């Protein structure tokens, strides 16, 4: 595998919007669907028809969000690689239904249900009609749309992609993103951190050496990365962030304000799944207007002559979002501390992400670093452009650039007494690895369980479990004798790979992984197959529609011929055609067996052949006159 | 000390001069790391405590470039897998060698001395002095006396620097000293963590802008 001539596209899979880009000789470019005037921005919204399971993605899906709140999914990125228990709070405000799926974890997935312990899988899924969709499946639908867009642009199949993720994404969130790619039929050749991609897009390597801070505030995630650039090397010194903080939260503040005041003024509780989507739309509009104007007005018709009208000033909005901005600035300070730098050492600040269009955000960021943020590139496109640059590096087109990224979180294992034993600390350059030796506690024990964690806290309960890793095939020996060296390797994508070897027998030990908030390999494979079958079903649905149209056309033509030339054929032939015409129409409407309809349509063609010939003869005679 | 003592490696197939025996840019290939190749050897510098930090960084960046998996996007599975492992080892070598405390500890272990896990002792006078500093810090903290906190920070920094100098003066003779002297070096290295903890505390109490 890995043919260099395969085109690799760069994809920004965002909370609110997604884009696909590729590198041309002139530089990276966002791929635009010529049929839609959207600047290449695809809303990350998926509408699913509960009956057929058919998905619509993008603008059209968003347009129907108000009428179909339960079946229109937005902000799916917030659920990627997350457990239901971790989400409980934010989930209540989503218009669609999010439930917990803990079953179906494959063999050995069930164990005593401890809240954060290993073994118990907790997956947040979206429920639509009778079906549950995992977040990677929904994300795959968005990726599929982008893939189609690229395929239309290039005129051939696209199989490889670089996909960006927030720098602060943990292992489960990264794996979920890769799984989404696989389900969409994409080989995810690299996962790149969004702020790093933005730095690449700015082509900062062409400048002199510099220390740069990238502040990336999107729809649902926040990242800060501090980079040192020297001679084409992008060295990430530190990163920090919050994968559950973004523009969505600002919308939610406005929604909160409106629902509160409507309750006070009219005694109405308008917070229901049905109204939530329209409230989102109102809030978004207010937020955007306030980026350009000092105030924005909000008007909601509550029926029976009741209208809620409200003017929101910029100052009021800024007070609402200030606590969130404070949190992002705390992250910036943490990142600075980890890099060993002071805010004055940063020579350039780049702001990325739609939410940095808010003047207040730029102002506060500027104050912290003591310099005005640099915003030359479109903050919505810059990450996708950077992903395309990374794609050209992987394709071997660009050899002048080197990306040295870090792992955002410490990696460790559960030690005795529920403590987190760190093996790799946050901000270590990746790829990186650590080896730890495990042994057995009982005679003849052949399996060892390890709880692998990510986080900065001392106690297991405060960290995130990546899942239960079970070493198998340990040679049976007295307790404490086997020595299993387990290597934890974080690759260039920030994804953990684990391997084990028993020292005495130097035997490779098998490892079974039950991800705490992710999909097993078997599940991903099944979803891949389902997605392909779905595409095939879609195709046969198209064929059915085409055939039904053909039946309509052919029977209509025969009807006309019968009227004009019916007396030129035998009476019993006429009757048979009339009978079959009616029967065929009924059959085509009732049956969904495309092959049967096709067969019957062909027979009808043979049956009407004498009529057609008679019609041709008559027409010829007419013209000869 | 700015003199970069490097090891001259050569590529077995193209004779190019290499930074490290594991990577040849001219052949665009990688080789497995020999089991006895230490962090110094991997980065092609002689085993020595005194190090030219700029030269070390340059060698690291060059080697990181020739081993990084992004440079092997279209290569065979074997080469790609090897590049991930080698990159991790190069990153680890640089992490240890660039930090004087980690570097000294690493040299000590290479010389057969005790590891931090095996020997947790600190110089006998350290614990008493740390306790006194702690008390002083507590007092200054409850009085909100940032001037004193600042002075304590400067004192701790000075002591840390003096200890590091001591370590440095002993580290390059590490191969020739007996077990007693090795234990002393270990105790000095262990004491650095106490100074670092104190500095973190003073930073929390009175942040420097």
Distance from CA of A392 to the nearest CA of B (A): 10
Using a pLDDT cut of 70, give the percent of chain A over it.
Answer: 92
User: Scanning every residue of chain B, which has its alpha carbon at the shortest distance from the alpha carbon of A433?
Assistant: B88
Going from the C-alpha of A568 to that of each of A479, A613, A623, the distances in angstroms are: 98, 10, 17
pLDDT at A1: 38
Which among A465, A469, A464, A407 has a CA at the least distance from the CA of A438? Answer: A469
> pLDDT digits over A457-485, tens only?
888 888 888 888 888 888 888 988 888 89
| Shared domain check, A554 and A498 | no
CB A81 within 8 A of CB A174: yes
pLDDT at A509 (0 to 100)? 75
Residue A614 domain boundaries: 523-624
CB atoms within 10 A of CB A267: 7
Q: Residue A65, SS3?
A: coil
Q: Which site among B79, B82, B88 would you substitute to test the A interface, given the most A Cβ atoms closer than 10 Å to its Cβ?
A: B88
Q: Cβ–Cβ of A404/B70 closer than 8 Å?
A: no
Domain-embedded: residue A233:
no
Task: Tell me: pLDDT of A567 over 70.
Answer: yes
The confidence score (pLDDT) of residue A112 equals 35
Q: Which residues of chain A are within 8 Å of residue B78 when distances are taken between CB atoms?
A: none
With beta carbons under 8 A apart, name residues in chain A contacting B68.
402-404, 492
CA dist A335 and A285 (Å) reads: 33
Identify the band that residue A301 occupies on the pLDDT scale cut at 50, 70 and 90: confident
CA-closest candidate to residue A78, choices A140, A18, A16: A16
The arithmetic mean of pLDDT across residues A189-196, rounded, is 96
Q: Are residues A41 and A103 in the same domain?
A: yes
Q: For residue B164, count other CB atoms closer than 10 A to its CB.
A: 18
Q: pLDDT tens across A79-125, in order?
A: 999 888 877 666 667 888 998 886 544 333 333 333 334 456 888 99
Question: Is residue A11 domain-resident?
Answer: yes
Same domain, A461 and A557: no
- CB-CB neighbours of A496 under 10 Å: 24
Inter-chain CB proximity B92 and A433 less than 8 Å:
yes
Helix or strand run (H / E) with residue B41: helix B39-42
- Which letter does DSSP use for residue A92 in this model? T
**Concatenated DSSP letters for B50-119?**
S--HHHHHHHHHHHHHHH-GGGGTTS-HHHHHHHHHHHHHHHHHHHHHHSHHHHHHHHHHHTTPPPTTT-
List b or e across A38-71, with b for residues whose CB sees 16 or more CB atoms inside 10 angstroms. Answer: eebbbbbbbbbeeeeeebbbbeebbeebbebbbb
Whether B33 contacts chain A with CB within 8 A: no
Taking the Cβ of residue B87 and every Cβ of chain A, the question of whether any pair is shorter than 8 Å is answered with yes
Q: Which of these three, A466, A489, A519, is where a domain ends?
A: A519
Question: How many whole angstroms separate alpha carbon A576 and alpha carbon A554?
Answer: 15
What is the spatial distance between Cα A454 and Cα A120, in angstroms, rounded to a whole number?
A: 17
Contact B73 A402 (CB under 8 A): no
pLDDT top residue among A34 and A328: A328
Nearest chain B Cα distance for residue A438, angstroms: 16
CA-to-CA separations, A207 to A25, A230, A559, in angstroms, rounded: 20, 9, 76
Please give the tally of structural domains in chain A.
Answer: 4
Q: Which residues of chain B have pLDDT under 50?
A: 1-3, 209
For residue A29, the domain's CATH number is: 3.30.420.40
Q: What pLDDT band is residue A51 in, cutting at 50, 70 and 90? A: confident
Q: In chain A, what residues touch B71 (CB-CB under 8 Å)?
A: 399
Average per-residue pLDDT for chain A: 87
Contacts of B64 in chain A (CB under 8 A): 233, 402, 404
* Residue A331: alpha-carbon gap to chain centroid: 24
Q: Which residues from B are below 8 Å from A234, CB to CB?
A: none
Same domain, A568 and A603: yes
Whole-angstrom distance, CA of residue A438 vs CA of residue A482: 8
Q: Do B84 and A492 touch (CB under 8 A)?
A: yes
**Element holding B155 (H helix, E strand):** helix B146-171
Indicate if A26 and A139 belong to the same structural domain: yes
**CA nearest neighbour of A558 among A582, A539, A535:** A582
Q: Is A431's CB within 8 Å of B87's CB?
A: yes
If you ran DSSP here, which 8-state letter would residue A406 be given?
A: B
Instruction: State the average pLDDT over residues A37-54.
Output: 88
* pLDDT top residue among B48 and A416: B48
> Is A216 among the catalytic positions?
yes
Q: With contact defined as beta carbons under 8 Å apart, do B202 and B155 qualify?
A: no
Pairing of strands A402-404, A233-242: parallel
A394 with A465, same domain? no
Chain B residues inside the 8 Å CB shell of A393: 70, 73
Whether residues A37 and A153 share a domain: the answer is yes
Identify the bridge partners of residue A348 per DSSP, sorted by sequence position. A212
pLDDT at A113: 35
By CB atoms closer than 10 A (0-12, 13-18, 19+), residue A299 is exposed
Q: What is the pLDDT of residue B1?
A: 40
Residue at A353 is within a domain: no
Instruction: Dump pLDDT digits (tens) for A233-282.
Output: 999 999 999 988 999 999 999 999 999 999 998 888 877 766 777 888 88
Mean pLDDT of A418-445: 92
Residues of B in contact with A405 (CB under 8 A): none
Query: Which pLDDT band, with edges at 50, 70 and 90, does A4 fall under?
Result: very low
Contact A7, A157 (CB under 8 A): no
| Under 8 Å between Cβ of B104 and B169 | no
For residue A277, what pLDDT is reported?
78
Q: Are residues A41 and A155 in the same domain?
A: yes
Contact A61, A46 (CB under 8 A): yes
User: For residue B163, what pLDDT is reported?
Assistant: 94
Contact A492 B91 (CB under 8 A): no
Q: Where are the beta strands (DSSP E) in A39-146?
A: 42-43, 46-48, 55-57, 72-73, 97-101, 123-128, 131-133
Is residue A406 assigned to a domain? no
CB atoms inside a 10 Å sphere around CB A88 = 12
Instruction: Please confirm, yes or no, whether A537 is among the known catalytic residues.
Output: no
Q: Are A501 and A154 in contact (CB under 8 A)?
A: no
Compute the nearest-CA separation of B108 from chain A (Å).
20
Residue A185 sits in the same domain as residue A259: no
Angle at the Cα of A457 from the Cα atoms of A466 and B122, rounded to 5 degrees:
120
From the list B70, B84, B91, which residue is nearest A393 (CB)?
B70
User: pLDDT band at residue A430, thresholds of 50, 70 and 90?
Assistant: very high
Residue A361 CA to residue A318 CA, distance in Å, equals 9
Residue pair A266/A302 in contact (Cβ under 8 Å)? The answer is yes
Task: Say whether pLDDT at A403 is over 50.
Answer: yes
Chain-chain contact of A395 with B89 (C-beta, under 8 angstroms): no
pLDDT at A105: 42
Q: How many CB pairs under 8 A join A and B?
A: 72
Known catalytic residue: A194?
Answer: yes
Residue B81: closest C-alpha in chain A? A491
How close does chain A come to B81, measured CA to CA in Å?
10
Residue to substitute from A231, A386, A404, A421, interface B, most B β-carbons within 10 A:
A404
Classified as helix, coil or strand, A46 is: strand
Helices A314-339, A247-266: inter-axial angle, 10-degree rounding: 150
Residue A352 falls inside a structural domain: no
DSSP A41: P
Among chain B residues, the shortest Cα distance to A397 is held by B71
Interval B80-107: pLDDT, tens: 999 999 999 999 999 999 999 999 999 9
Mean pLDDT of A376-395: 92
Position A346 pLDDT exceeds 60: yes
Which residue intervals of A185-313 are DSSP H helices? Answer: 194-201, 247-266, 273-292
CATH number at residue A591: 1.20.1270.10
Q: What is the CATH number of the domain that holds A274?
A: 3.90.640.10
Domains along chain B with CATH numbers:
9-98 (1.10.287.110), 124-205 (1.20.1280)
A623: which residues sit within 8 A by CB, 6+ positions away?
Answer: none
**How far is it, in rounded angstroms, from Cα B62 to Cα B74?**
20
Is the domain of A79 the same as that of A135?
yes
pLDDT tier for residue A5 given thresholds of 50, 70 and 90 = low
Cα–Cα dist B27/B41, whole Å: 21
Is A507 part of any domain? yes
Domain assignment of residue A226, yes or no: no
Give the closest residue to A76 by CA, choosing from A134, A10, A19. Answer: A134
The answer to whether residue B163 neighbours chain A at the CB level (below 8 Å) is no
| A592 contacts A543 by C-beta, under 8 angstroms | no
Q: Which among A167, A337, A324, A319 is positioned nearest to A257, based on CA atoms?
A: A319
Q: Compute the distance between CA of residue B37 and CA of residue B92 in angstroms, rounded to an integer.
A: 13
Q: How many residues does chain B have?
A: 209
Q: With H, G, I as helix, E, B as strand and everything else as coil, classify residue A95.
A: coil
Q: What is the pLDDT of residues A606-622, one digit of tens each?
A: 888 888 888 877 877 77
Catalytic residue among A122, A170, A194, A580: A194
Considering the domain architecture, whether residues A89 and A180 belong to the same structural domain is answered as yes
A236 found inside a domain:
no
How far is C-alpha A124 from the geometric centre of its chain's CA atoms? 14
Which chain B residues have a beta carbon less than 8 Å from that of A430? Answer: 88, 91
Q: CA A68 to CA A501: how far, in whole Å?
A: 53
User: CA torsion angle for A335, A337, A340, A344 (degrees, to 10)?
Assistant: 80
| Domain shared by A34 and A134, yes or no | yes
Give the mutation candidate from B70, B199, B200 for the A interface (greatest A CB count, under 10 A).
B70
């Amino acid at each position: 595998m890995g043919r260099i001539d395969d085109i690799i596209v760069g994809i920004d899979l965002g909370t609110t919007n997604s884009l696909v880009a590729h590198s041309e000789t002139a530089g990276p470019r966002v791929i635009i669907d010529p049929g839609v005037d959207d600047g290449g921005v695809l809303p990350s919204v998926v509408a699913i028809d509960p009956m057929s399971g058919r998905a619509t993605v993008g603008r059209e899906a968003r347009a129907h969000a108000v009428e179909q709140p339960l079946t229109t999914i937005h902000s799916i990125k917030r659920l990627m690689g997350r457990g239901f228990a971790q989400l409980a709070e934010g989930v209540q405000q989503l218009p669609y239904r999010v439930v917990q799926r803990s079953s179906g974890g494959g063999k050995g997935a069930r164990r005593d249900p401890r809240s954060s312990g290993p073994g118990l899988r907790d997956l947040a899924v979206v429920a639509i009609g009778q079906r549950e969709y995992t977040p990677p499946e929904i994300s795959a639908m968005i990726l599929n749309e982008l893939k189609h867009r690229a395929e239309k642009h290039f005129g051939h199949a696209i199989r490889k992609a670089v996909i960006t993720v927030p720098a602060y994404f943990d292992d489960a969130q990264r794996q979920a993103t890769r799984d989404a790619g696989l389900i969409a039929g994409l080989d995810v050749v690299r996962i790149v951190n969004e702020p790093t991609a933005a730095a690449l897009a700015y082509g900062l390597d062409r400048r002199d050496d510099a220390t740069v801070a990238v502040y990336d505030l999107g729809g649902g995630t926040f990242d800060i990365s501090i980079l040192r650039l020297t001679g084409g090397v992008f060295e990430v010194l530190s990163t920090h962030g919050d994968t559950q903080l973004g523009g969505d939260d600002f919308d939610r503040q406005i929604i909160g304000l409106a629902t509160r005041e409507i309750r006070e003024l009219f005694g109405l509780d308008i917070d229901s799944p049905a109204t939530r989507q329209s409230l989102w739309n109102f809030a978004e509009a207010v937020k955007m207007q306030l980026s350009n104007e000092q105030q924005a007005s909000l008007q909601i018709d509550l029926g029976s002559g009741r209208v809620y009208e409200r003017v929101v000033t910029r100052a009021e909005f800024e007070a609402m979002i200030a606590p969130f901005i404070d949190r992002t600035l705390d992250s910036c300070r943490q990142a600075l501390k980890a890099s060993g730098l002071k805010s004055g050492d940063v020579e350039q600040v780049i702001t990325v992400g739609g939410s940095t269009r808010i003047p207040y955000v730029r102002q506060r960021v500027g104050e912290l670093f003591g310099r005005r943020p640099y915003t030359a590139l479109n903050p919505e496109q810059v990450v996708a452009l950077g992903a395309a640059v990374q794609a050209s590096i992987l394709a071997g087109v660009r050899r002048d650039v080197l990306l040295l990224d870090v792992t955002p979180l410490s990696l460790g294992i559960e030690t005795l007494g529920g403590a987190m034993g760190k093996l790799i600390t946050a901000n270590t350059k990746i790829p990186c690895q650590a080896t730890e030796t495990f042994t057995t506690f009982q005679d003849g024990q052949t399996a060892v369980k390890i709880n692998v964690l990510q986080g900065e806290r001392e106690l297991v309960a405060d960290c995130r479990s990546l899942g239960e890793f079970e070493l198998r095939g340990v040679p049976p020996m007295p307790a404490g004798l086997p020595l299993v060296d387990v290597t934890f390797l974080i690759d260039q994508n920030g994804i953990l790979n684990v391997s084990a070897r028993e020292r005495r027998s130097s035997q490779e030990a098998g490892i079974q992984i039950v991800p705490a908030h992710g999909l097993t390999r078997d599940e991903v494979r099944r979803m891949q197959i389902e997605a392909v079958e779905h595409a095939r079903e879609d195709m046969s649905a198209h064929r059915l529609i085409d055939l039904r149209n053909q039946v309509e056309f052919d029977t209509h033509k025969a009807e006309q011929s019968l009227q004009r030339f019916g007396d030129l054929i035998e009476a019993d032939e006429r009757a048979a055609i009339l009978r079959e015409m009616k029967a065929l129409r009924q059959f085509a409407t009732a049956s969904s067996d495309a092959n049967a309809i096709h067969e019957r349509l062909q027979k009808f063609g043979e049956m009407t052949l004498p009529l057609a010939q008679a019609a041709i003869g008559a027409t010829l005679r007419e013209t000869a006159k | 000390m700015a003199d970069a003592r490097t090891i001259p490696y050569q590529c077995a197939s193209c004779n190019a001069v290499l930074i490290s025996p594991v990577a040849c840019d001219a052949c665009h290939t990688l080789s497995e790391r020999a089991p006895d190749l230490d962090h110094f050897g991997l980065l092609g510098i002689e085993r020595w405590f005194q190090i030219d930090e700029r030269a070390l960084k340059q060698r690291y960046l060059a080697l990181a470039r020739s081993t990084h998996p992004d440079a092997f996007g279209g290569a065979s599975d074997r080469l790609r897998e090897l590049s991930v492992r080698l990159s991790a080892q190069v990153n680890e070598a640089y992490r240890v060698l660039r930090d004087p405390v980690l570097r000294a500890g690493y040299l000590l272990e290479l010389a057969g001395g005790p590891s931090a896990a095996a020997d947790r002792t600190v110089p006998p006078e350290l614990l008493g002095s740390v306790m006194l500093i702690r008390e002083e810090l507590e007092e200054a903290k409850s009085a909100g006396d940032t001037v004193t906190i600042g002075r304590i920070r400067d004192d701790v920094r000075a002591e840390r620097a003096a200890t590091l100098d001591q370590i440095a003066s002993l580290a390059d003779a590490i191969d020739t000293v007996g077990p007693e002297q090795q234990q002393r070096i270990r105790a000095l290295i262990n004491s650095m963590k106490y100074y670092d903890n104190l500095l973190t505390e003073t930073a929390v109490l009175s942040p420097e802008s």
